[in-house]
Amino acid sequence: MELLSQLGVTEAYIAGIDTDCCVLKTALDLFERGIRPIVLTHFCASNGGPESHAAAITVLERNIGEPQIIKGDVLPDLET
């Protein structure tokens, strides 16, 4: 996190395993440090199964905001 701040990073795209653990924690940490987390749900999953993945997405939507959650296999326009 310190390196991201030093580099002036203002947003970060997140993907990985487990949505309900690592992805959730990383997104919340970034958000709390003023870095906009953008979660790419199509590239996330959970060892707990689809229910755990979906629950984590709901928690993320409520905590970091729905616009930061990219659903489906379409990537956002990275030029803006």
pTM for the model stands at 0.85
Beta carbons of 5 and 33 less than 8 angstroms apart? yes
Tens place of pLDDT per residue across the chain (80 aa): 889 989 999 999 999 999 999 999 999 999 999 999 999 999 999 999 999 999 999 999 999 999 999 997 655 565 54
Long-range contacts of 25-28 (CB under 8 A, 24+ apart): 27/60, 27/64, 27/68, 28/63, 28/64
Q: Which domains are present in the chain?
A: 2-70 (3.40.50.850)
